[in-house]
Structure 1
Amino acid sequence: MTETAAPRRIRRSELATPASNERMFAKAAASQADLVFLDLEDAVAPANREEARGKAVRAFNDYDWGTTVRALRMNGIDTRWAYGDVIEVLSGARENLDVIIVPKVTSARDVWWVDTLLTQVEGTLGITKPVRLEVLIEDVAGVANAEEIATSSSRLDALIFGAGDLSVSQHARVDTNFEPRDEYPGDFWHYARMKVLTAARIGGLLAIDAPYPDFRNAAGYERAARHAAALGFDGKWAIHPSQIEIANDVFSPSEDEIRRAKRNLEAYRDAQARGLGATSVDGQLVDAAHVKLAEAILAQVRL
């Protein structure tokens, strides 16, 4: 598969919410995040993970989520909780569960395991709306196998770059915001980000950037989001509701981008009508490549 266009869905912001904390559910459901995931993994103490499944089911069933995508981050497939997370939450939430996020994916085999289990549970329950998948690339093996992972399942919507566990896997010397402790020339995570982004585009998937733990630093979050957006990422995780609006703004086309796209498209079509393969707008060349970019921006606006 060599698709380069992202699917027709939108994930500018993905809000993390602990599945064990019922006080946060109403606010999460009412947020403006494109996707909210209830987290059964790192945000929940091991002793509480099985109990948290029931809380997640009630949240999916009892709250009005509007157009927000309802997701669950399960535990890794190498843990004792993985199969129970899928079976219990899907059995309880049924069509109210849209997406499962699979953490610490290192190979296509990991995705196949979840895909196969979902197929079995959906068939048993008579669920006709397949659960979609997003996977976290947060291990050196996952980075190395990113392209294989991105093309491993028709359920996949997105690859997510995770800097936290990758720091451990890589033995990186970073602070609690996953930034290098010592001076480093350029973006410390550029290679991993580009591997995830490139693999996502090969698979026709969305690419989601890593969380920014320093949630009180709005300027830092925006700076990181704009950096990821410039590379081509489609959205970013939010670990606090205050980050949602920033992500939604950064990963949406600006008014200037929209105006420029419309103007370039109109000028190119006019040139084509006159038998020309290219034209200029404000002294800059506009050819077929610029048309594709303009069409992509306008398609995102329609979404």
Structure 2
Amino acid sequence: MIASSRPRRSALYMPASNARALEKAKTLDCDVVIMDLEDAVAPEAKAEARAAAAEAVRGGDYGERELVIRINRLDTEWGIADVQAAVGASPHAILLPKVESASEVLQLEAMMEGLKARPETRIWCMIETPRGFLKLEKIAAASPRLACLVMGLADLVKDLRALDTVDRAPLHFAMSRAVMVARAMGLDVLDGMYPNIKDEDGLVRQCRQARAFGFDGKTLIHPSQIAPTNAAFAPSDAEVEQARRIIAAFEAAEQAGKGLAVLNGQMIEALHAQTARRVLAMAGER
């Protein structure tokens, strides 16, 4: 597994069947654009959405935003064609929904290898069901292409027959488990979406909660949610300044032929420098 230093504070779902939405995403300050072929697209529009997503990715007009295509499940009538189109377009990642077993990840990996997908095209997995959370460790270890876990907590609440509360107390175990597994496997992990687009206070509360749990960012369903989410997941000025000091100290040590640096009495190694670079990336210093 390869840990990424990419900022993934805000990952915005955009229905690939909506041409205006795909065009608008080119101007938005989100870190990730998820072009959705699944839940947001009606069955009769699946083929059109698939072609539009592939064309948008190939167009290359999204700057430094990470581009992800969420396909339909492989056992649906659209799944195989979705993979073929996505691999041909070479997005940064293919997002597999409702993953409940490692075998599903391996099936997608085998299809991608057979289609000669670029090594840089990663797999992201959505974890949305009790079975998926129970199998999370095996799912997370299934493929070296896997880069990120994405929570589908709205579906999980329904499956658990739990109450959908802003504080998400019924989901704390699942959230903590997701972060722990992700960190153990060197993956990123994104919090689930907040459905009430008019409730910014609730969104910010959940963003701060997710950051406290250790999530790298949050999936979003509306452009108005981007700025509050980016702000909530951004490091503080003090954290940014400390990261700059760590990187400067480590680079100076490297130039002197040393593998270690000392900053304010603390040993600085390559791992510390990597973490510091991620802090700067999260702060928008790309």
Establish whether TM, by shorter chain, passes 0.5.
yes
1:210 equivalent in alignment to 2:210: no
Identity within the alignment, %? 35
- Trace 1:1-303 onto structure 2 (pairs within 5 A): 6-62=3-59, 64-91=61-88, 93=89, 95=90, 97-122=91-116, 127-174=117-164, 179=165, 187-259=169-241, 296-297=275-276, 299-302=278-281
Aligned-pair distance for 1:262?
6.8
Larger radius of gyration: 1
CA distance in structure 2 between the partners assigned to 1:29 and 1:42 by the alignment:
22
RMSD in angstroms over aligned alpha carbons? Answer: 2.8
CA distance in structure 2 between the partners assigned to 1:246 and 1:173 by the alignment:
25
Q: Is the 8 A contact 1:262 1:294 kept in 2?
A: no
1:180-239 CA distance string (max 9 Å, x none): 7xxx8x722101101111111111000100000101111111110011001111110111
CA distance in structure 1 between the partners assigned to 2:87 and 2:242 by the alignment:
45
| Change over 3 Å in CA distance of 1:39–1:263 after alignment to 2 | closer
Deviates more, 1:58-67 or 1:24-33: 58-67
Deviates more, 1:62-71 or 1:105-114: 62-71
| Change over 3 Å in CA distance of 1:223–1:297 after alignment to 2 | farther
Letter paired with 2:81: G
Q: Is the 8 A contact 1:26 1:63 kept in 2?
A: no
Q: SS where residue 211 of structure 1 aligns?
A: coil
CA distance in structure 1 between the partners assigned to 2:29 and 2:227 by the alignment:
7
Partner of 1:271: none
Partner of 1:275: none
Deviates more, 1:186-195 or 1:233-242: 186-195
Q: Is the 8 A contact 1:258 1:298 kept in 2?
A: no
CA distance in structure 1 between the partners assigned to 2:104 and 2:228 by the alignment:
33
Aligned-pair distance for 1:167?
2.2
Q: SS where residue 156 of structure 2 aligns?
A: helix
Aligned-pair distance for 1:63?
5.4
Letter paired with 2:147: D
Q: Is the 8 A contact 1:6 1:201 kept in 2?
A: no
Letter paired with 2:97: P
CA distance in structure 2 between the partners assigned to 1:81 and 1:214 by the alignment:
30
CA distance in structure 2 between the partners assigned to 1:137 and 1:296 by the alignment:
26
Aligned-pair distance for 1:52?
1.3
CA distance in structure 2 between the partners assigned to 1:98 and 1:296 by the alignment:
22
Q: SS where residue 188 of structure 1 aligns?
A: helix
| Change over 3 Å in CA distance of 1:76–1:294 after alignment to 2 | same
1:136-188 CA distance string (max 9 Å, x none): 110101111111111111111111111122123223343xxxx37xxx8x722
Q: Is the 8 A contact 1:54 1:89 kept in 2?
A: no
Which TM-score applies when normalising by structure 2? Answer: 0.83
